[in-house]
Structures are given as structure tokens and as C-alpha cells.
């Protein structure tokens, strides 16, 4: 099996088990890090001690940590993330309804960021230190410094309101509505991740510029677009995939602020609301799903890299 | 070196010098305002004058007044003495903790290394911000929660950076010489190992400050950060949202103030990055 594609996938997926176990443990511990007891918080300040104890039993807080952990792992594996304290709704159902919005916002942001970052990085890498490179980097510093939520407010006020092209808030009713609702949020998410993407891609392109096989290709007469297409693009792919995955994880955060600012019914807004109302099971659920998304993202990036770069499969 | 290459490297050096100068000037200006705020501000940043609420910019109030009639200019200036120290603290604390853990992991190796690295793997599996929100949620809103959550999450990068550098330097000849010379571990680390990591750490620290400045504002906007009536810039933007139409300056000005500071810090970080020779 050594070196085979399926073997690599299997080994890589297996290596995630301890990580996921650790994530579950951290998420479970959330209930314990809160100052004062979680049970007291749920029961309310005026509840008697009996009531608080009853809530603690209901939450399983009277059990030892390892037993609580086993229960929690069992529940999660069967798809049960508990019920919301406030609404009594199933946490997994609520998250399942919001997940597509968050994934759509993050994905739209990452795609837009790629569309901007790749050409900028290629242009900047042509002449490191030259005027184009410097301009790209000043633009990067500028974009990096803009607070996302503020840009969102400004876009609503200066673009959405006067033109009427995009909804001021909300997710729209049909696919076309969703698409229109995604445009401005995608811009805000992209703005935050383009600068680090350009920086990493630019470095990767410059490294390729001096690579032996590129020097050889240049000596053979390949120039410009041909050189880029035939020799550099293929080899720039692995760093591109890694950078994109890392920034997509960051984009997931970007969605929190963006969803709140644009009133989108996604997990980010859900997390903020749940945190504000101290709805523990919901917060736990969101944290877990966000973490699993990041883990899957990195797995996906490793798999794509392996599929395009045979060296990874052999050495893994 | 060819003429083109020489002129290119000179252009790069000039470019990075300009960036560092501009970045330092902007940052210095903000530090100055933060230090001199009590003398610079024309009015008490907390003094309310409800009869004069939401007044547009004028000679009396250069940047207008907010929903409670407080002078916006005074609040912006005072904000520098609130945002800057907090941003510095939420950047320095993770740096110190991460450096310490990185030294221990890199120098001693073994199980200490294993523990530090596995914990950092685990923390990196979470999107950083989500973990911060959740921690602040667990600890309750406020400045101390921000400090704890930024530190608990942010040390990872510094630990990895320092650990790698320490592990690399540890086998270097001059460290081996220090060991045979009879120096003890703490002295070797302080005198011979840490200085080699400083520059990289500092570059990362600068870019981390950019993040801290915008993140602090974002946390206030989400309701988890510095609480009213403290004139923190992000909190000011959050409070101004119902008056976006009637008094847009309440939203525009603090946002620009944050953006310019973050831009200055980002330029500084970019210039310093050039200086390290890393591309």
C-alpha cells in the first residue's frame, strides 16, 4: 500500500482521530472554565440550591470529567449536540440550517480573494522590489488595516443603500437573492485575506523564479506566459493550495463579523447571539462545528496537494 | 552583480526605508496622542450634554457630538490612551508566554517539546477568532477577558517560531562552545540563543499588532470587548450604528482612526520584513 493514493488518504484521515478527540475534550471543558458554575448560570440567580443541583445533574455536571467526556463523545458521534437552553431547539438542527450560509459566505470570499491575489502576486513577483511590487505591498498594508466590520457598514451605507443593487441586510429568498446578498460580504471577507495570500504566493513565485528547472527552461528559450504556464504554474500549485486552506480558516472567522454586520443568518451570527445569551450547548455546538470545518479544510488541502504532487505521496 | 540587480536592491532598500519611516511616524503620532490626551482634548470625554446631542462638526465641536452630546474629538483622542495600551498588552503577553514555552520546547526537547507542540496543534485546529470569542464568552466581557483569551490563543505562533530557531541554534558550534565553557542553560539561552530569535519575533510582533488593533475594535463591535461608556474606538462605532443616517461622522471618524493606525503598523511590519532578507 505504501505510496498508493488510498493508503495516503487513509493514514492522513486516521491521524486526525487524536486531534478530533482533543477538540472534543476542549469543547466539553468550556462548561467548566466559566467563573461560577454553569448550572447556577442556567438556573438563574434567584434559584435555590436544590434547583441548581437539579440543573447540574441534568447537564451531567455531577459526573467525573472522564465520564462526562465519554457521554459527550457518544452524543456527538450519534449526531446529538444537545438542546439550546433558551429556545429548547435541537442544537444540531439549528446549526445545520445555518451552516450553508456560513460556508457560502466564506467560499465566496475565498474565491474572490483568489481572483485578486493570484494576479497581484504574479505581477509583484516579476520584479521584486520594483514599483509594481511596492504598490502591491502598500495596497496590502492598507487592506490589512481596514477593520472588516467598519468596511461592511461603509459598503452598506455607500453602496447598498444608494444603488439598491444589493440587500442592506438579510439572505434573500431564492438563489438569485442569495447570490446578491453574497456580493458585499464576499468583498469584506476577501479584503482581510488577500494581503497574506499575496505575500505567501509572491514569495513562492520568487522562489520558483530562481529554481533550477526554471533557469533551465529559460535557457531553452521559454519566456513570459509559456514559462509561467508550462513550468511555474504547476509548481506554484502546492503552496497556493496550502495558503488558500490557511486563509479559508481565517475567512471562517471573517464571516462572524460579516454575518453580524450584514444580518446574515449564519453560524457566525448564531455564535455571537448564543454567546450573548450564555447558551452553553449552542456555543459548544458552534465551536465544535467550526473546529471540524477547519480540520476538514486542512485534510482537503493535503489531499489536493497529494493528488497534484507525487512527491508528497511517496514521502508521506 | 549586474547594474540592474544593484539598482533593484537599492530600490528595495529605499522602499523599505520609506515604509519604515512612514510607519514609525504614524505610530509615533498615535503614541504621542495617547500620552498627551489629557492635555490635548478640548473637553471631558465623558461629559454629557444631551441638549446638544448628535451635533454635526462645527467650530465648538470639531468632530461633532455623539448621541449623549459628548465631544467626539475628545473621545477619539482619549481612545488612543485606551486602545494603544490594550493592543500592546494583548500582543506582548502572548509573545512572552510563547517565547518562554518555545525556549523550553526547543532547548530541552523530549516530553516538554511534545506537550507544547501537541497543545499548539490542538489550538491551531480551531479558527483563532472563534476560540477567542468562546473564551471571552466563558470569562465574561471586559479587558481582562480580552487579555486572557488573546494570550491563551496567540502564544502558539511565537512558541513555534522560537522553538524552531532555538532547536536550530542549539546545535550550533558557539552554543556547544558555551556548554563546554561551563555556562549553565539559562545563561546560554539568554546570551546566545534568544538574541537570534529576536528579530523574527519582532517582525511577527508588528504584524500581530495590526491584527490586535482591528480585532479589539471588532470585539467591541460584537459586544465582547471594552464596555461603554469607555471611549474605545470600536465601542464608539458600535454605539453609533442607530445614528448612521443622522450622524455618519460618529461611524466614519473612529473607523478611519483605526484604519490609519493599522496601516502605519502594517507598513512598519512590511518594511521590517524586507530588512530581515526574508521574502
DSSP helix/strand/coil, B43: coil
The reply to whether A270 touches chain B by the CB within 8 Å rule is no
The reply to whether A262 touches chain B by the CB within 8 Å rule is no
Q: 10-residue block means of pLDDT along chain A (316 residues)?
A: 62 80 82 62 72 75 78 85 83 92 94 93 85 89 90 89 81 83 92 90 81 78 72 74 83 87 92 84 89 87 76 54
Domains and CATH numbers, chain A: 2-77 (no CATH), 99-308 (1.10.3720.10)
CA B19 from centroid of its chain's CA atoms: 18
Please indicate whether, in this complex, the C-beta atoms of B125 and A294 are within 8 angstroms of each other: yes
- Quote the CA–CA distance of B263 and A144 in Å, as a whole number: 7
pLDDT of residue A1: 42
Neighboring chain B residues of A250 at a CB cutoff of 8 Å: 127-129
pLDDT of residue B5: 54
Q: What is the mean pLDDT of chain B?
A: 83
**Are B259 and A150 in contact, with CB atoms under 8 Å apart?**
yes
pLDDT of residue A312: 60
Q: Which candidate in A109, A129, A194, A270 is best for mutational testing of the B interface (most B CBs within 10 A)?
A: A129
B99-102 long-range Cβ contacts below 8 angstroms, 24+ apart: B99/B158, B99/B159, B99/B162, B99/B194, B99/B197, B99/B201, B101/B155, B101/B159, B101/B163, B102/B158, B102/B159, B102/B160, B102/B161, B102/B162, B102/B163, B102/B165, B102/B166, B102/B197
Of B58 and B256, the structure prediction assigns the larger pLDDT to B256
Q: What is the mean pLDDT of residues B135-158?
A: 86
Interface of A with B in 65-94 (CB under 8 A): none
Handedness of CA B166, B167, B169, B172 (dihedral sign): positive
**A207 to chain B nearest CA, in Å?**
9
Of B170 and B159, the structure prediction assigns the larger pLDDT to B159
**pLDDT greater than 70 at residue B169:** yes
**Are A75 and A90 in contact, with CB atoms under 8 Å apart?**
no
Within a 10 A sphere around the Cβ of A289, how many other Cβ atoms? 22
Neighboring chain A residues of B27 at a CB cutoff of 8 Å: none
Q: Which candidate in A145, A162, A281 is best for mutational testing of the B interface (most B CBs within 10 A)?
A: A145
The alpha carbon torsion through B99, B92, B197, A205 (nearest 10 deg) reads: 110
The reply to whether B126 touches chain A by the CB within 8 Å rule is yes
ipTM: 0.84
Domains and CATH numbers, chain B: 3-277 (1.10.3720.10)
**pLDDT greater than 50 at residue B96:** yes
**B155 to chain A nearest CA, in Å?**
17
Per residue in B183-233, pLDDT (tens digit) is: 777 777 777 778 877 878 888 888 889 989 998 888 888 888 887 788 889
Q: What is the mean pLDDT of residues B95-115?
A: 89
- Quote the CA–CA distance of B91 and B126 in Å, as a whole number: 19
Neighboring chain A residues of B138 at a CB cutoff of 8 Å: 30, 33-34
The C-alpha cell of B170 is what? Answer: 542549539
pLDDT of residue A2: 47
- Quote the CA–CA distance of A84 and B15 in Å, as a whole number: 55
Neighboring chain A residues of B237 at a CB cutoff of 8 Å: 149-150, 153
Nearest CA in chain A to B10: A129
Please indicate whether, in this complex, the C-beta atoms of B222 and A150 are within 8 angstroms of each other: no
Between B129, B210, B248, which is nearest A253 by CB?
A: B129
- Quote the CA–CA distance of A44 and B118 in Å, as a whole number: 38
The reply to whether A40 touches chain B by the CB within 8 Å rule is no
Between B118, B137, B264, which is nearest A283 by CB?
A: B137
pLDDT band at B99 (very low <50, low <70, confident <90, very high): very high
Please indicate whether, in this complex, the C-beta atoms of B133 and A275 are within 8 angstroms of each other: yes
CA A130 from centroid of its chain's CA atoms: 33
Please indicate whether, in this complex, the C-beta atoms of B260 and A287 are within 8 angstroms of each other: no
- Name the residue with cell 521590517: B272
The alpha carbon torsion through A176, A181, A187, A190 (nearest 10 deg) reads: -80
**Are B94 and B150 in contact, with CB atoms under 8 Å apart?**
yes
The reply to whether A17 touches chain B by the CB within 8 Å rule is no
**B75 to chain A nearest CA, in Å?**
18
Handedness of CA A56, A62, A65, A66 (dihedral sign): negative
**A298 to chain B nearest CA, in Å?**
9
Among B159, B170, B156, smallest CA distance to B108 is for B170
Amino acid at each position: 500500500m505504501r505510496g498508493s493514493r488510498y493508503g495516503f488518504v487513509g493514514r492522513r484521515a486516521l491521524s486526525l482521530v487524536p486531534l478530533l478527540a482533543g477538540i472534543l475534550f476542549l469543547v466539553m471543558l468550556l462548561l467548566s472554565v466559566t467563573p461560577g458554575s454553569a448550572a447556577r448560570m442556567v438556573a438563574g440567580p434567584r434559584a435555590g440550591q436544590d434547583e441548581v443541583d437539579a440543573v447540574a445533574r441534568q447537564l451531567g455536571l455531577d459526573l467525573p470529567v472522564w465520564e462526562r467526556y465519554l457521554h459527550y463523545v457518544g452524543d456527538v458521534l450519534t449526531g446529538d449536540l444537545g438542546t439550546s437552553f433558551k429556545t429548547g431547539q435541537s442544537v444540531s438542527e439549528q446549526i445545520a440550517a445555518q451552516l450553508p450560509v456560513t460556508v457560502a459566505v466564506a467560499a465566496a470570499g475565498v474565491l474572490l480573494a483568489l481572483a485578486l491575489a493570484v494576479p497581484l502576486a504574479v505581477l509583484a513577483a516579476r520584479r521584486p522590489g520594483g514599483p509594481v511590487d511596492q504598490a502591491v505591498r502598500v495596497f496590502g498594508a492598507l487592506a490589512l488595516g481596514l477593520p472588516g466590520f467598519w468596511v461592511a457598514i461603509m459598503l452598506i451605507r455607500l453602496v447598498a443603500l444608494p444603488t439598491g443593487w444589493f440587500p442592506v441586510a438579510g439572505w434573500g429568498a431564492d438563489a438569485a437573492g442569495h447570490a446578491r446578498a453574497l456580493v458585499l460580504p464576499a468583498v469584506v471577507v476577501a479584503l482581510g485575506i488577500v494581503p497574506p495570500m499575496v505575500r505567501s504566493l509572491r514569495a513562492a513565485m520568487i522562489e520558483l523564479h530562481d529554481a533550477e528547472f526554471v533557469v533551465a527552461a529559460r535557457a531553452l528559450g521559454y519566456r513570459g506566459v509559456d514559462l509561467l504556464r508550462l513550468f511555474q504554474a504547476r509548481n506554484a500549485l502546492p503552496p497556493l493550495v496550502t495558503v488558500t486552506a490557511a486563509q479559508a480558516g481565517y475567512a471562517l472567522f471573517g464571516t462572524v463579523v460579516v454575518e453580524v454586520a450584514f444580518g446574515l443568518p449564519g453560524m457566525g451570527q448564531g455564535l455571537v447571539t448564543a454567546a450573548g445569551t450564555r447558551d452553553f450547548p449552542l456555543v459548544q455546538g458552534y465551536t465544535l462545528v467550526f473546529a471540524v470545518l477547519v480540520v476538514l479544510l486542512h485534510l482537503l488541502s493535503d489531499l489536493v496537494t497529494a493528488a497534484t504532487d507525487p512527491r508528497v505521496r511517496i514521502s508521506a | 552583480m549586474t547594474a540592474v540587480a544593484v539598482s533593484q536592491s537599492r530600490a528595495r532598500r529605499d522602499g523599505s526605508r520609506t515604509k519604515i519611516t512612514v510607519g514609525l511616524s504614524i505610530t509615533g503620532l498615535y503614541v504621542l496622542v495617547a500620552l498627551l490626551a489629557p492635555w490635548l482634548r478640548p473637553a471631558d470625554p465623558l461629559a454629557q450634554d444631551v441638549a446638544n446631542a448628535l451635533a454635526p462638526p462645527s467650530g465648538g465641536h470639531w468632530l461633532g457630538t455623539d448621541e449623549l452630546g459628548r465631544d467626539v474629538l475628545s473621545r477619539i483622542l482619549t481612545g488612543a490612551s485606551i486602545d494603544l495600551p490594550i493592543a500592546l498588552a494583548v500582543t506582548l503577553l502572548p509573545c512572552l508566554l510563547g517565547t518562554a514555552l518555545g525556549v523550553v520546547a526547543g532547548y530541552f526537547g523530549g516530553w516538554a517539546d511534545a506537550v507544547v507542540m501537541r497543545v499548539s496543534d490542538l489550538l491551531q485546529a480551531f479558527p483563532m477568532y472563534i476560540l477567542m470569542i468562546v473564551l471571552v464568552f466563558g470569562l465574561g466581557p471586559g479587558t481582562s477577558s480580552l487579555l486572557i483569551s488573546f494570550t491563551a490563543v496567540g502564544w502558539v505562533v511565537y512558541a513555534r517560531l522560537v522553538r524552531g530557531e532555538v532547536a536550530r541554534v542549539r546545535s550550533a558550534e558557539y552554543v556547544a562552545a558555551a556548554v563546554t565553557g561551563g555556562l549553565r542553560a539559562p545563561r546560554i539561552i539568554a546570551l546566545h540563543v534568544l538574541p537570534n530569535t529576536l528579530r523574527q519575533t519582532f517582525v511577527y510582533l508588528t504584524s500581530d499588532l495590526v491584527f490586535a488593533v482591528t480585532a479589539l475594535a471588532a470585539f467591541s463591535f460584537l459586544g465582547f470587548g471594552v464596555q461603554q461608556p469607555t471611549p474605545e474606538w470600536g465601542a464608539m462605532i458600535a454605539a453609533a450604528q442607530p445614528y448612521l443616517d443622522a450622524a455618519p461622522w460618529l461611524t466614519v471618524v473612529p473607523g478611519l482612526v483605526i484604519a490609519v493606525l493599522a496601516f502605519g503598523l502594517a507598513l512598519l511590519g512590511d518594511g521590517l520584513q524586507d530588512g530581515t532578507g526574508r521574502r
